[in-house]
Structure 1
Amino acid sequence: MKKTSPYFIIFFLLMETGLYSQKPVQKDNYTFLVQTEEGDLNKDKRDDKVVLTMDLKDETRPLTVQIFLTQPDHKQKLVVSSTKLIESEYPKDKNGQHNGNTIPDFIIEDGNLKMLTDIKSRKSRYEFRYKQNNFELIKISRVIWDGKNTTSETEIDLLTKTKVEFDQELGSDKILNKRVRKIKMDILPKIQNLSFSDLEKY
């Protein structure tokens, strides 16, 4: 009986591992344009661009966020591309059901990127600044309406490491039940490392 070379077995195993482990992401499938936003993100007086697209070929309808910075030669360079920041429209864990939330909206204001979300009737605003080739999360604001006369609001400043919570009656500037506490934050989170579930934890 002819013996099989051990080198052949190793080669075969490596080939099998390669075949089953490589699942390239088809970025070309993100062809449906959801939103574009332009504005100066790095204070060089050139308009940069944020592009939000959806993959219509994938039944979960995932979304990707891309940030392009305009270079001195006026060409746009892709610096951020994330498929984790926004939840798919039809997540796998919901068995074909819609996630029930609106697609986030992006705006560029005062040189910073802001993402507005409305998840389970809680409106949130996440603010990112560009620093040292990264977009860092620096502020979070949240508002929940009780359906009657009161809103509960949260202001998180990751730069000062403070979290402020308070209530407010509709039509009034008076702040009720104000609570202030310090939060632990050693490194500011970067947009490319954050997922939608990460954002909900703050």
Structure 2
Amino acid sequence: MFILISFPTDLFAQSSKDKDNYTYQVREEKGDLNNDRKMDKITVKMDTVDKTRPLRLQIFLSQPNGKLNLDVSSTKIIEPQYPAEKQGEFNGYQIPDFFIEKGILQMWSEIKSGNITYDFKYNDGNFELINVKKLTNNATKGYTDENTIFTETEFNLVTGIRTETDEISGSDKALKVRKKRVLIRPLPKIQDFKFSDKELY
């Protein structure tokens, strides 16, 4: 007797979609992130199946039993290597570097004509963005000097003070310093942070 058994086609599609394809590890850093004097860990892994090559940041915090527990997982914080909007072209930037220094998780990324560093601090169960430092060069800033103009931006999100300093390459003297107060409350959390947020700072 022949029995035809049918399965919903979307069941297999869902199963395939849910499969973890973030298998290629490109970054790993260890250090104490929550001041418990135990080693925590962060990893960045790439999905090698998706043609955009998305990346996932995961933060693992140490537990009293010595094991590591997944605390944060985000696929929004790092731009895919081949964004869909670029129709298969490389985004032009290397994969961000991560560092753990004095309990601060630092993310260093390349941006157009420079780089940007984000500092995240563990507070009350969340990793909050507390400081942003950006360095860019722009020779069309309005100055007549032929040397490259560098602009260093430091944004302390805790105090709300944002400082921009223009300098000429090779000079110790600032051309111009601009300060303003910008309060962002609540402080951005790392799980909500998107790579496109760099435009905000």
Shorter-chain-normalised TM-score: which range?
0.7 to 0.9
CA distance in 1, matches of 2:200, 2:126: 21
Q: Sort the Cα spacing of 1:188 and 1:122 in 2 relative to 1 into closer, same or farther, 3 A.
A: same
**Per-residue deviation, 1:151:** 0.7
Judged with a 3 Å threshold, the aligned counterparts in structure 2 of structure 1 residues 122 and 36 are, in CA distance, closer, same or farther, namely: same
Which residue does the alignment assign to 1:187?
186
Instruction: Give SS of 1:193's match.
Output: coil
CA offsets per residue over residues 50-86 of structure 1, 9 Å max, x none?
A: 1000000110000000000011111000000000001
Amino acid at match of 1:169: I
Q: Secondary structure of 1:171's partner?
A: coil
Q: What residue in structure 2 maps to residue 52 of structure 1?
A: 44
1:60-71 maps to which residues of 2 (within 5 A)? 60-71=52-63
How many residue pairs are counted as aligned between the two chains? 187
Q: CA deviation at 1:30?
A: 0.2
Q: Which residue of 1 aligns with 2:119?
A: 127
Asked if residue 99 in structure 1 is aligned to residue 97 in structure 2, the reply is no
Identify the match of residue 87 of structure 1 among 74, 79, 85.
79
Which amino acid is 1:112 matched to? I
8 Å contact kept, 2:126–2:189: yes
CA contact (8 A) 2:113 2:138 kept: no
**Alignment-derived partner of residue 152 in structure 1:** 151
Q: Distance in 1 between matches of 2:168 and 2:119?
A: 25
The whole-number CA distance in structure 2 between the counterparts of 1:43 and 1:193 is: 23
Percent identical residues: 47
Give the match's secondary structure for 1:130.
strand
Considering fraction of residues, name the structure with more helix.
1
Residue identity opposite 2:159 in structure 1: T
1:24 positional shift: 7.5
Match of 2:105 in 1: 113
1:187/1:57 Cα in 2 relative to 1: closer, same or farther (>3 Å)?
same
Moved more, 118-127 or 140-149: 140-149
> Could you list the per-position Cα deviations for residues 111-133 of structure 1 after superposition, in whole angstroms to 9, with x for gaps in the alignment?
10000000222200000000011
Shift of 1:155: 0.5
Deviation sequence 1:101-157 (CA, Å, 0-9, x none): 111100001210000000222200000000011000000000012364321111101
Relative to structure 1, is the Cα distance of residues 182 and 23 closer, same or farther in structure 2, using a 3 angstrom cutoff? farther
- The gaps in structure 1 that reach 5 residues or longer are 1-14
CA 1:77/1:167 → structure 2, altered by over 3 Å: closer, same or farther? same
Normalised by the length of structure 2, the TM-score is 0.86
2:73, 2:54 → 1: CA distance?
13
Quote the residue 1:176 is aligned against.
175
Q: Does residue 30 of structure 2 align to residue 38 of structure 1? A: yes
| 2:159 and 2:183 in contact (8 A); partners too | no
**RMSD across aligned C-alpha pairs, in angstroms?**
2.2
8 Å CA contact 1:102–1:119 kept in 2: the answer is no
